[in-house]
Structure 1
Amino acid sequence: MKSEDILNKDTLRPRNTSAEVLAKEEEKGDGKPQSGNFFGLEWDKPGSSSPWPTFDQFPEHLRVGPWSYSACIFLVAFVGFVVLSASWAYDDLSKLRDAAPASFQIRMLHGAGAVYMTAIIAYTVKNTGLWPFVSYTAISYGLLTLRFGFICLGLQAAAEILRFPVVAMATVTSTVWWLVLFPIILAAAAAEHRRAFLRMNFSVFLLNMHLFNLPMALASQWSYSRALCFLDFWVAAVVAMLYLFFYLLVMDANGLHLYIILSPRPWWCIVSYCGILLLYAQLHRFFGS
């Protein structure tokens, strides 16, 4: 399966699917494909050695059905907050110049980091295609790479816009993966696949995007300082909002449940959403002090 076809409807079922099977699927009416198909149909076959569980192993009420009222309320409130606070963020634009210019040594170190992370991205694309870059993890890593590149090139304003978003996203990626998603996926994986899943966590791709990303983001954050302002939090909130809508309207809607805790169907989804936003706020307070 080509990576660019990840959301193509034709890739969501085996090519030899009969008309009778397709008709039965339409009669069911849930509109949900077998989620494992996103990673290759062979992963759903009996005897598969895939370490990643098919998403359909997650409870059906988290994958299928209408959104809860709490999800709708949160999304409306989130958009309202971003729109109404835009003027406050705009007023802080001048504060981006408060950062002292990075020294030549710092710029060269960031340049080396940018080259390294670009190589990791190229390695990932070559070996797995583009599909990982629909994930929050890979987008976070891409933005971190951009910040390193901007610092190396002396593009201070662009680098400062990404100062807080990249360290917040790296922190969320590492903590949510290891403390929440990793144990959930490990528990959902078939017993014979768990060892393979553990090995996968020490692959070049996941080590860099789930572990090494955080110390690199922290090193960049502390290599030269600037007091954070509301604009920093606002930019991070905008990135989070855009990704949440992309996840819910594109990925979740097509059965790609990478982050089952973001399901908009249970009433408690608002706890997940608010929890992540509050984590952003606490990180802003921590790094801004």
Structure 2
Amino acid sequence: MFDKRGGSNSKTLNKQSPSYAGPTPFHRRGSYLPQDTKQGRFTWLIYDNDGSFNGWFDWLPLHLRVGYWSPFMVLTLFFCYTAIFVFKPDPLEFPPSVLFALDEEDAYFMGMPKSTAIDLLISIWGVVVVVVAKIKLGSMGAFPISFTGWSWLLLTSRAGLEFMAWAAFTNNHSRVASSLAIMGSSIRLVTITNACVVCTIWNFILFPLIYFKSVPAGEKRRIFVKFNFGFFMTNIHILNFPLSCLNIIYGGKSRIRVFTESDLWVAYAVVLLYSVLYYFLMDRLGLHFYPIFNPRTSFSLISVAGVLGLYYFLFLKWNEYIGL
């Protein structure tokens, strides 16, 4: 699995591919598990595209687009996927704080508690941003499979769930209200942490990397910068963080709560769930949105450890701030 030598069929592979990578299995469609596709056997890359969907990632070195994964990354992923089951809190508990605080709120806006009104506005704004982007950009294909997209959907969903919990409770649907409040409560930590991670990693790591490595100098860079600081990208990469802070760690103080191990487990579970999509589908399509997490180099261990550590660090810091 981890042997990177071309083997006895390297000449054949080189003849069959237009790539100039040389007689190695790196550039082949079946480079992860080299097999004869005519016999219906499994191949890793879904398209014979040299691991670059529509040529979008040709700027990434070939050996980081196709070929065998680093054994250290494989072991790390195996450990993480195992740990999420082994260390799952039992039971998972998420206090429906949005309901506990209804009687404590004395500030009202639009006929509802101020914090509930804020949730409603955040949820509506989250939908408006996506709809406007769809109208202006036409295609939103990459948004649902990006970590940024997941984070924005969590932000919109968390606010919507807690607003609907209030609405159900005021209409005497207490069981429905309780279920919605618990669901909204369960994603409070992952919502704010994902927003913080997206805001920092995109603006301070990925944006500079793409700007200097992927986009040619001149007009294309100017267009890229204009797009990055346009309406859509500004919302999902910059405003996402302050919006997530509202009613989670700041504002609506009566229903802010300290995060528990259950919240931390959900945050890690969402990250690992996204990693399944990223490593086992997007990598096969040739979509390498986040090169710092590339599975074919051991240096990605630094990024993985850094993100997992950052989630725990933020978990402690949010609680430290809330406890003040």
1:187 aligns with 2:196: no
| Aligned pair partner of 1:120 in 103, 116, 129 | 129
Q: Which position in structure 2 is the counterpart of 1:260?
A: 291
The letter for the 1-side match of 2:91 is D
Q: Which position in structure 1 is the counterpart of 2:49?
A: 33
CA deviations on 1:184-204 (whole Å, 9 max, x unpaired) are: 000121112111111111111
Q: Unaligned regions of 5+ residues in structure 2, if any?
A: 1-15, 20-24, 30-44, 106-112, 166-179
Q: Which position in structure 2 is the counterpart of 1:213?
A: 240
Contact 1:92/1:229 (CA < 8 Å) preserved in 2?
Answer: no
The letter for the 2-side match of 1:29 is R
Q: Which position in structure 1 is the counterpart of 2:8?
A: none
CA distance in 2, matches of 1:96, 1:84: 23
Contact 1:62/1:266 (CA < 8 Å) preserved in 2?
Answer: yes
The letter for the 2-side match of 1:191 is A
Decide which moves more: 149-158 or 258-267: 149-158
Map 1:266-277 to 2 at 5 A: 266-277=297-308
Q: Which position in structure 2 is the counterpart of 1:178?
A: 203
| Aligned pair partner of 1:64 in 63, 66, 81 | 66
CA distance in 2, matches of 1:36, 1:206: 23
CA deviations on 1:65-110 (whole Å, 9 max, x unpaired) are: 1011111111111012110112x2x3341x5246642541110121
Aligned length: 251
CA deviations on 1:21-55 (whole Å, 9 max, x unpaired) are: xx6459952455267755xxxxx6xxxxxxxxx31
| Aligned pair partner of 1:147 in 158, 162, 165 | 158
Map 1:4-15 to 2 at 5 A: none
1:91 aligns with 2:91: yes
User: Aligned in 2, Cα 1:81/1:70: closer, same or farther, shift over 3 Å?
Assistant: same
TM-score, length-scaled by structure 1: 0.80
Q: Which runs of 4+ in 1 moved over 3 A?
A: 23-28, 34-38, 97-100
The letter for the 1-side match of 2:205 is V
- CA offset at residue 264 of structure 1? 0.4
Q: Which position in structure 2 is the counterpart of 1:17?
A: none
Q: Which has the higher contact order (CA 8 A, sep 6+)?
A: 1
CA distance in 2, matches of 1:35, 1:211: 30
Q: Which position in structure 2 is the counterpart of 1:201?
A: 228
How large is the Cα RMSD of the aligned pairs? 2.2
1:241 aligns with 2:272: yes
| Aligned pair partner of 1:105 in 114, 117, 125 | 114
Which SS does the other structure have where 1:55 is aligned? coil
CA distance in 2, matches of 1:269, 1:157: 35
Contact 2:51/2:65 (CA < 8 Å) preserved in 1?
Answer: no
User: Aligned in 2, Cα 1:171/1:60: closer, same or farther, shift over 3 Å?
Assistant: same
TM-score, length-scaled by structure 2: 0.72
